[in-house]
Amino acid sequence: MSRSFLRDTDFSPAEAAEVFALASRYKKLRASGIIDILRGESWGLLFFKKSTRTRLSFEVGVHELGGHPVMMNASELQISRGETIEDTARIMGRFLHGIVIRTFGQEIVDEFARASGLPVVNALTDLLHPCQSYTDMFTMMERFGGSSPSAEALKGRKLAFFGDTACNMAYSLALAGAMFGVEVSLCGPEEFKPAAILNKLFEDARLAPTWTFTSDPEAASRGADVLYTDVWVSMGKEDEKAERIKIMSPYQVNERLFSLAKKGAVFMHCLPAHSGEEVSEGVLRGDRSIVFDQAENRLHVQKAIISKLVQENGGKSS
């Protein structure tokens, strides 16, 4: 089985720091053209859920690494007519050199990695969104790291996450934050507080669970370097929309909450945003918002993640 990136902790902090250093190089060198790490390779991009940033950044990224991206919507494959994940994965293992997957259950990416034998990248599951959390750490590193940013710049930073603290972004930020010494405060209603699975993820990775939970948004904002939010209604939770909006409305990131944060604090959001729900229009579009840098950095960081996997799997990825 090849090495994959299915959970935030699948790279050690030292390896993740190498990913960030490579992402910085890719960002600087982007104009100088194609890198041939994936020359002759075809990487599948398999999506069971909708996407704008992830789809685009992986398609462009695989191309810029010299490979051929093969975009697949699960609804157009035989898997939507009952072909098993195991058989689909085994077939992909015969054609492709790696697979990027956005899907529902975490067990689906695990099964693809096992049955295909290929390196698999988790491009969001219901449980985790590790490509986004790595990008967020990288973006914070750039923002707080001065002229030669390194992962050291993350140590002791305070990130407050507001809203649905039982969602994939909250869990991935808790994990990635702990890897880099970022103090992550998850803040939202008790009804959507983190489930026991979050501590199980820490336990499995032998990582100390450094995250905290509060339902008090003012307490979470005070002294924070980053105010972060995500949609209140994640993909697949549409049936709970009315209830979620009602319960989460006290957790909107707005100017009042921002006034309690540290001077120089920034606003982050994985996007897509629902202005007027989880974030006010003023904060989303204001000069403290770095959401478009975050979005751009998906490209550089994911190219580095793929490159690191290829290197760890012994050069060419099969």
- Binding residues vs ligand NVA (CB under 6 A): 124, 129, 167-169, 230-231, 234-235, 270
The burial of 93, by beta-carbon neighbours within 10 Å (0-12 exposed, 13-18 middle, 19 or more buried), is given as middle
Three-state secondary-structure class, residue 181: coil
Q: Nearer Cβ to ligand CP, position 89 or 124?
A: 124
Positions 53 through 72 that interact with ligand CP (CB under 6 A): 53-54
Beta bridge partners of 185: 160, 212
Least distance between ligand NVA and beta carbon 245 (Å): 15
Among 52, 84, 150, 275, binds ligand CP (CB under 6 A): 52
**Shortest distance (Å) from residue 184 CB to ligand CP:** 18
Name beta bridge partners: 226: 159, 266
> Read out DSSP for 97-159?
SEEEEE-S-HHHHHHHHHHH-S-EEE---SS--HHHHHHHHHHHHHHHSTTS--GGGGTT-EE
Shortest separation between residue 135's beta carbon and ligand CP, angstroms? 9
d(CA 30, CA 303): 11
Identify the helix (H) or strand (E) that includes residue 213. Answer: strand 212-214
Binding mask 130-169 for ligand CP (x = CB under 6 A): --x-------------------------------------
For the CB of residue 294, give the shortest distance to ligand NVA in the complex, in Å.
11
Stretch that binds ligand CP, among 198-206, 259-267, 268-276, 300-308 (CB under 6 A): 268-276
Contact 53, 298 (CB under 8 A): yes
Whose Cβ is closer to ligand NVA: residue 129's or residue 244's? 129
Compute the distance between CA of residue 155 and CA of residue 247 in angstroms, rounded to an integer: 33
* Contact status: 51 vs ligand CP (CB under 6 A): yes
Residues near ligand CP, by CB under 6 A = 51-54, 124, 132, 270-272
